[in-house]
Structure 1
Amino acid sequence: MSSGMVDENLSSKVELFLGLRNLPKMDYFGKTEAKVCVYVKDFRNATEICIGSTESVRNSLNPDYQSTFVLEYFFEENQKVITRVFNADDEAGEYDVNSRAFIGQATFTLGDVVGTKGQEKLIPLLNAQDQPLKGYNGVQNSQVLARVDEVPGVNECARFTITGFDLDPKSTSCCFGRTSNPFLEIHKKRRGGGGGDGDEYVSWQKVFSTPVYRRTLNPRFNTFSIRKQTLCNSDDRAEIMFKVFHQGAVKDPQLIGQGRTNFKQILKMVDQHDQARRALQKSATKLNLRGMLLPLIHPDLVTAHGRRYKNSGVLLFNRVEVYKEASFLDYIQGGLNLKLMVAIDFTASNGEPNDPASNHYIDPTRRTLNKYEKAIEAIAPIVVPYDSDQMISVWGFGAKLLDTNRVSHYFPLTFNSDADEVKGVPGIIDVYRKCFTRVDLSGPTMLHEVIQAASRVASLPFTQSTQHYSVLLVLTDGVVNDMKATVRQIEKASSKPLSIIIIGIGDADFSDMKILDDDNGKLDVERDIVQFVPMKMFRDSDTGRLSAEVLSEIPAQVLSFMKKKNVQPMQRRKMMSGLAVPDLADRPSTADVDDGDDDDVDNDVLLPGTPDN
């Protein structure tokens, strides 16, 4: 039975703040009274979803809104936010892009803002013709100011030390008498929509389980940690249930007893226990633990014995500590720089670029993308915003270089070893398309040299104050021919700030590539750094799902490296300079804002005996 947290979701909740800068003057006798409607769109939703709107602010061309929006942030997803600005003072009163109240709109991704210094970004407002909207002075363009902050408390963790006392015995042996093999589970309450009007159903979700402890009625469970978001959705008053089971040799686990409480009550129990222990040290009075214990109740025994039944044991919370675990977003906000490197397969099995059936087919009209370009367009735009200069190294392997007439398994697509970087995603696509005039497709497929090159980049000086992490994106159409050498390079690279993403292009059998994606722990690696995904698992229209699958492990891999190296997030970077800050006299006052609207637990328990260590 595994133990530990079952929720490995490394998302964060972020709060989105909005403002507008340099709006056009829409009213004759005053300034613009603008409000913003906010929509979100990702690969789960074919259409955009409205998540709310701000209040309207009177007589301001540079309003900052009090309304905020809480969103779930996923590094691996292209989470689009659409903001539409309307003149709330327009008599039409219709908030539609085709109405006369429409001023303009701006679109951005959460990653665009999170990856910007200070997590604050100015985005141009576009008018109904998708042209930059001119501000009131007719010179500068209007802009949306977007800022995100991580919602506090989401990354809080709780460290528990718990002891069980006087558990009911569930088995008998000639050597140990009546005993049990207990283990502990924690469940949180979940609510969902029911079948009726406004009805809800309640279910319990297991979020933690300990190992089995053999032959004891007084187990001292090993100290464990769990995220409070996982435990109780970060709500200290939310009900949680502790269940203790007996694990027999053959039969399914048998319930010993269960108790309901909440995190606030647990902290109260721990505090009372600490006070009682301190009082005991000062005097010889007997320690009374009544009110400090969680009784374990078996529902069937309550039915069978009624008021004569007390409990089937108790839990004592010896110690509970609350601490904040650094999140991926903490490191990004502190200035962690992500560097993307792309390696592309130029082996002959891909097919020639002038063949429409080829993986490398280059459409002369540039209207369609080939499979390599689709993979680049799906993955690179998500990682690039987190790179401070957005310069990307682009390499090839498996091609014969016409300049040397030799096959190379590592060459820059710029054909300049001193300058192998290009600017942004358009730069990747551009050098990729141009390189076919200087290479012939060849082979075999060998990866160890590009991994070695990526490892060199990741080996740049790394300190508490200069934090960087590299991501190598490898696109290949076949199984590698240098598996042993590739494995050795992966093992060496596993100690460096590096993750390797391998995408299988085309319809080849990629089953052997799972060796590199070491989910079974067979490689001699310091940590798992490789993720392999065959692109054929996803439809052409499912690029969002492809990126989510491919990039989902990056935050965990970053955190595992930081934890092993004992590197803490840096202090959050200041906002970028040069932001358009409005005149203080133009900021809204409270009077200028129009919002648009004309545990108690029963602890009657038996005193415990002595725990088994």
Structure 2
Amino acid sequence: RWDDLCLPQATAGPVRWWPCRGGHTEGWQIVAQKKVTRPLLLKFGRNAGKSTITVIAEDISGNNGYVELSFRARKLDDKDLFSKSDPFLELFRVNDDQGLQLVYRTEVVKNNLNPVWEPFKVSLSSLCSCEETRPLKCLVWDYDSRGKHDFIGEFTTTFEEMQKAFREGQAQWDCVNPKYKQKRRSYKNSGAVVLADLKKFHRVYSFLDYIMGGCQIHFTVAIDFTASNGDPRNSCSLHYINPYQPNEYLKALVSVGEICQDYDSDKRFSALGFGARIPPKYEVSHDFAINFNPEDDECEGIQGVVEAYQNCLPRVQLYGPTNVAPIISKVARVAAAEERTGEASQYYILLILTDGVVTDMADTREAIVRASRLPMSIIIVGVGNADFTDMQVLDGDDGVLRSPRGEPALRDIVQFVPFRELKNASPAALAKCVLAEVPKQVVEYYSHRGLAPRGLDVPAGEASAGCTP
């Protein structure tokens, strides 16, 4: 993003340098040349092999609208020998230099020559740089698990043409394989792609719009009290209380919590624990209030959470297993009650501090998928040096998270932060990492629900909320 790269330089006066892995250029060069390619450099100025970075500058008008598109196809070519094709569609924007920029890739529809792909939303700036006559190219492929997808066909259109054809009920394009067309006189197409639905929305609300409209962010802190953290009486334990310096949990709690505190409207945190035997019966609990007041589990600010944690630790027995699903479900029940109000007024963020492997991974995935439909996000902070591979799976950055039953998450609501890599970072760097996805997640939720910020008038017939891809 241009504003991420050059925001500090977007002021009057000389344009300053911005670093790129040791390489550099000037902001005005990018704007003037439209496209700048520079080699990536290692330390001491050595080239990083043949790697390069290319920055493309585009002048985008003030259009912050977005569209929802839904495609299907019929009578596609069969590319598989013993079954039918597994088609997916790619939509590209044609840039000024005639290069292709991927806008969206659909899911794969297995064993089907007449696929119906899920609807998707995309901003007009991403789709066509807000130029409705800019060419768009659609390619249809037969999926191959080894990555060698078979090309079925393609067509070129524009967003302007899409709208006109859809209004006239003729939004259908021949899916053409140029090689077949060149070789066979009788060749017509390899099927057809139909624009099944098109919805154009004119207003995209920002995270700030919702906050200014009175949306309140509520944080819940959940702390891992399982035995894998080590005996708190042992100095090697992640829960060891040293009178002279904070343990790993306190470091993470204070560093991350103080950042989150600035987002919380009333500075009161629900503080929960999981994986310990608790008084009076010392039965294992996976969602207990660390102040031992189940009627009011809130603490005043992060300092209140710290005090509750320090008072709680000597009273519980660290046990297990590391079950996270009950905590997620508990917060989700509160978020579900808010969802029923039909207003953009309350959003819930669960901050989980844990030392490693989740035991109830299947139940956790199920709970996250259900929570993805609620006004809720989850930040998982990994404490210590354990293997956090499972946490990376829950963070849906590498693909859509699915429940054990195969149901996909509606939104990516999980952000994983390995604290060991950030505990020496500046507050600004830590804040950027911890809260990087929260504004987008908030806007995506209210966009999906069609809820505008409170207090804003929405013109009749216009979508009340939007999102950026």
Task: Please say whether Structure 1 and Structure 2 have the same fold, judged by a TM-score greater than 0.5.
Answer: yes
Describe the SS at the equivalent of 2:10.
strand
Report the equivalent of 2:452.
569
1:467 partnered with 2:467: no
Residues 477-527 of structure 1, C-alpha deviations (whole Å, 9 max, x = no match): 354667788788778877754444444433345667789779232059895
> Given the superposition, is the C-alpha separation of residues 365 and 556 from structure 1 closer, same or farther in structure 2, using an over 3 Å criterion?
same
2:265 is aligned, of 383, 388, 404, to 388
C-alpha contact 2:365 2:403 (8 A) present in aligned 1? no
Give the CA deviation at 1:340.
Answer: 0.7
Identify the range of structure 1 (513-522 vs 482-491) with the bigger mean alpha-carbon deviation: 482-491
1:357 corresponds to:
236
- TM-score relative to the length of structure 2: 0.58
Distance 2:402 2:233 in 1: 41
SS at match of 1:375: helix
Map residues 42-53 of structure 1 onto 2, 5 A cutoff: 50-53=8-11
State how far apart, in whole Å, the 2-side matches of 1:428 and 1:293 are. 59
* Deviation sequence 1:424-474 (CA, Å, 0-9, x none): 3343334434554x5355323464664565355445554124732322222
The C-alpha deviation readout for 1:90-114, integer Å capped at 9, x for no partner, is xxxxxxxxxxxxxxxxxxxxxxxxx
Does 2:224 align with 1:345? yes
Q: Does 1:205 align with 2:205?
A: no
SS in 2 for 1:50: helix
Instruction: Using the aligned pairs only, state the percent identity.
Output: 26
Higher relative contact order (CA 8 A, sep 6+): 1
- Distance in 2 (alpha carbons) for counterparts of 1:547 and 1:500: 15
| Partner of residue 201, structure 2 | 323
Q: Does the C-alpha gap of structure 1 residues 320 and 414 become closer, same or farther in structure 2, counting only changes over 3 Å?
A: closer
C-alpha distance after superposition, 1:265-315 (max 9, x if no partner): 654x549x74xx9xxxxxxxxxxx9xx99898877799999xx9x997998
Which structure: larger Rg?
1
- Given that 1:502 and 1:530 are in contact with CA atoms closer than 8 Å, whether structure 2 keeps it comes out as no
Distance 1:492 1:162 in 2: 27
Distance 1:225 1:404, change over 3 A: closer
| Corresponding residue of 2:94 | 189
Match of 2:67 in 1: 157
Q: Which residue in the other structure is 1:253 paired with?
A: 150
Q: Which of 201, 204, 228 does residue 123 from structure 2 map onto?
A: 228
CA 481–157 in structure 1, closer or farther in 2 if over 3 Å, else same: closer
1:272-421 pair list within 5 angstroms: 274=168, 320-324=198-202, 329=207, 331-351=210-230, 356-366=235-245, 369-399=246-276, 404=280, 406=282, 409=285, 410-421=287-298
Q: Which moved more, 1:249-258 or 1:354-363?
A: 249-258
CA shift, 1:157, in A, is 1.2
Would the aligned equivalents of 2:136 and 2:159 in 1 still touch at CA under 8 Å? Answer: no
For residues 221 and 482 of structure 1, what CA distance do their matches in structure 2 show?
Answer: 34
Structure 1 residues 521, 238: closer, same or farther in 2, change over 3 A? farther
Change (3 A) 1:361 1:524: same
Q: What is the letter of the counterpart of residue 360 of structure 1? A: H
**Which amino acid is 2:404 matched to?**
K
Once the two structures are superposed, the pairs formed by residues 41-80 of structure 1 within 5 Å of their partners are: 50-53=8-11
Aligned residue among 411, 418, 421 for 1:538 = 421
Q: Is the 8 A contact 1:257 1:312 kept in 2?
A: no
Contact 1:342 1:392 in 2 (8 A): yes
Match of 2:466 in 1: none
1:100-249 maps to which residues of 2 (within 5 A)?
153-159=63-69, 185-190=90-95, 203-209=99-105, 224-229=119-124, 231-232=126-127, 234-236=129-131, 239-245=134-140, 247=142
TM alignment of 1:419-568, pairs within 5 A: 419-433=296-310, 435-436=312-313, 438-439=314-315, 441-445=317-321, 447=323, 450-451=327-328, 453-455=330-332, 457-458=334-335, 460=337, 462-465=340-343, 467-479=345-357, 497-509=375-387, 519-522=401-404, 531=414, 533=416, 535=418, 538=421, 540-541=423-424, 566=449, 568=451
Asked if the contact 1:157/1:323 (under 8 Å) is kept, the reply is yes
Report how far residue 389 of structure 1 moved.
Answer: 1.0
Alignment deviations for residues 227-247 of structure 1 (CA, whole Å, 9 cap, x no partner): 134743542257333245575
**Cα distance, 1:262–1:481 mapped onto 2, change above 3 Å:** closer
Specify the alignment match of 2:464 in structure 1.
none
Distance 2:143 2:129 in 1: 35
Q: In 1, distance between residues paired with 2:67 and 2:261?
A: 31
> What is residue 146 of structure 1 aligned with on the other side?
none
> Mind listing any 5+ residue stretches in structure 1 that lack a counterpart?
1-10, 15-39, 56-150, 173-179, 192-200, 278-288, 575-613
- Mapped to 2, the partners of 1:523 and 1:248 lie a distance apart of 22
Give aligned pairs, total.
Answer: 392
- 1:408–1:567 distance in 2 versus 1, CA, 3 Å: farther
Q: Which amino acid aligns with 2:101?
A: Q
Q: How does 1:581-600 map to 2 (within 5 A)?
A: none
Whole-angstrom distance in 2 between the partners of 1:352 and 1:182? 54
Q: How far 1:339 sits from its partner (Å)?
A: 1.1
Match of 2:34 in 1: none
Q: Distance in 2 between matches of 1:299 and 1:524?
A: 37
Secondary structure, in 3 states, of the residue corresponding to 1:568? Answer: coil
State the SS of the aligned residue for 1:53: coil
Aligned counterparts of 2:194 and 2:105: Cα–Cα separation in 1 = 17
Q: Contact 1:335/1:573 (CA < 8 Å) preserved in 2?
A: no
CA contact (8 A) 1:359 1:370 kept: yes
